[in-house]
Amino acid sequence: MSSFNGLLGVSPVAKGYQFAVWAPNAKAVAVTGTFNGWNDNGTALNATDGGVWYGCIDNAENGQEYKFIITTRQDERLVKNDPRARKLTNSVGNSVIYDDDFPWEHSPFKAPPIHERVIYEMHIGTFHKPKDGHGTFATAIEKLPELKKLGINIIELMPVNEFAGDISWGYNPAYPYAVEEAYGGPDGLKEFIDAAHGLGMGVVLDVVYNHLGPSDLDIWQFDGWQENDKGGIYFYNDYRSATPWGDTRPDYGRQEVRDYLTDNALMWVNEFHADGLRMDMVPYMRSVSGADNGEDDIPEAYDLIRTINQQVHQAHPDKMTIAEDLHSHEYITNPVEEGGCGYTSQWAAGFVHPIRDALTKTEDSYVDLNTVASSVTNIISNNPFARVVYTESHDEVANGQARLVEEVAPGNVDDNYYARQKGILAGVLVLTSVGVPMLFQGQDFKESGWFDDSHDIDWERKERFAEYAQAFATLMALRTNSNGNSAALTGGTAEIIHQDDEHKVLGFKRTNGLDDKAVYVFINLSGSDTEQYRLNNIPPDAQCLFGWQDGLTTDSVSLNDNMIHMTPYSAFIFSGS
């Protein structure tokens, strides 16, 4: 018998494949599958001192199915899938031997620098759904040119790991290492990432390490051991197991579990060529209750987070890790060497909540410009790109909430003046504020309602609301400086230059610290219409780059002694010396 090569899961060897699995409490472990006719006893594996069982199957072939047979200390027979399987027939099916031999066409790939990045959050199942069935990686690829045309350069995928059933948000990972077969499996994901790279777009993957499952979860009591009727070797077996999604918080204090999650993170960036990771609900890793009051912190989770971030960034300095933490702590994005967690960026609760609140006010008098101004200019961790700024995400447009335009005009988005105006103001604020901007799928063509994992976005709206969509495309071009006239928007400085609390007009100046021209942004957050409104602190030679009054009016906007017709809920962007 050849010696253990140190790799868990299935790995090719000189002849056939090695099978290895961690099951420290098992009395015996065997592997059964296509290669041995699904023999009831399987082929016995050898035990190591570290609780790993391994063995080589000479006639095993790529694409064959298999499972582990575990005999517990109580002589119970368990048939389990491989916790590190890259491919499954489905979440209640079999593990599949999968070779990492995808023929990449666009590798190596380097995403745009962080100051130019614009993120688009996508749900594969609903992004481009066919008439029958659900969306797949292949159907999503068909629409990637639309995102390229819009100006997107980073796609953030909601979780695509194998989950229960075929339809889900993805935040119920049954097998963290396997790619959802209903979406197209591991090759489908690689084809998607390769296609995105070919169009100049990076791909960030959403990963869930705060809980697993809770359904179709084969690693539950994997080798028969458990305490308190909890989850066994992969999970906490005391009060720390409790999460809002089930008693399935991984045991961050157990080295084998830490390796399981760290190796998973590295798998996405190494084998799948992902350009970064977004970690779901980090507070439920850092603490038991997520309350963030320090009373039930999980210290070892911080160590795991730092380890993952360090290893990703050391291997791939240009790849990003994003935290969904939502408490606005600077230590989340502070460097590890300074005692921080080391994330590149974090979702900015201090932006999305006050901006949505301001835009959905029914009375203009309730709009607080001080709060809006702070949201626009705020910098954390001494890094202007440590914030991901947005007004829509999968969470913000579901769970009892809706699209911002739906919140403004429930049931009447298509014909409502205020929904149209405020939807564009949301786009202006996201794409001109300090930070890394993010849009949610369909936001650029006024998608209504709320996010549902069984209903696709309506691509016909892009033609139906063509002027609205064009406004977003224009804003995107300005944010990425694709026309070479708005480099200041890629910078890290915003200065409030105009604040009219009576008329609810806010103006700010954006610069990038270089000799490029400044960009001046003015937003009217009220329904007032002023024929002659003076814009303060703007140069006399300012040129209009974007104008949204009652529709796109950029070409016709001009200043007369810094006076302008300020229409309700309008926005203007100027360049100047």
How far apart, in whole angstroms, are the C-alpha atoms of residue 485 and residue 425? Answer: 21
Cα–Cα distances (Å) from 445 to 285, 397, 439, 471, in that order, read 35, 15, 11, 9
Residues 6+ apart with CB under 8 A from 285: 209, 210, 249, 252, 279, 298, 301, 304, 305
DSSP state of 355: H
d(CA 49, CA 26): 12
Number of residues assigned to the chain? 577
Find the catalytic residue in 121, 324, 444, 516: 324
User: How far apart are the C-alpha atoms of 200 and 202, rounded to whole Å?
Assistant: 7
Which member of 82, 206, 223, 280 is catalytic?
280
254 in Cβ contact with 246 (< 8 Å): no
Of residues 401, 422, 477, 370, the one with CA closest to residue 152: 477
The answer to whether the bond into 214 is cis (omega within 30° of 0) is yes
Does the annotation count 324 as an active-site position?
A: yes
Tell me which amino acid residue 444 is.
D
> DSSP string of 223-287?
TS--STT---TTB--SGGG-BTTBS--B-TTSHHHHHHHHHHHHHHHHTS--SEEEES-THHHHB
Tell me the H-state helices in 137-248: 137-150, 185-198
Alpha-carbon distances of 392 from 77, 211, 215, rounded to whole Å = 48, 24, 28
CB atoms under 10 Å from CB of 436, counted, come to: 24
Contact residues for 517 (Cβ-Cβ < 8 A; gap 6+) = 485, 487, 488, 575, 576, 577
Q: What span, in angstroms and rounded, lies between the C-alpha atoms of 514 and 534?
A: 28
Assign residue 559 a region: left if phi > 0, alpha if psi is -120 to 50, beta otherwise? beta
Report DSSP letters for 481-493, one per residue.
TTTSS-GGGGSSE
Residues noted as catalytic: 280, 324
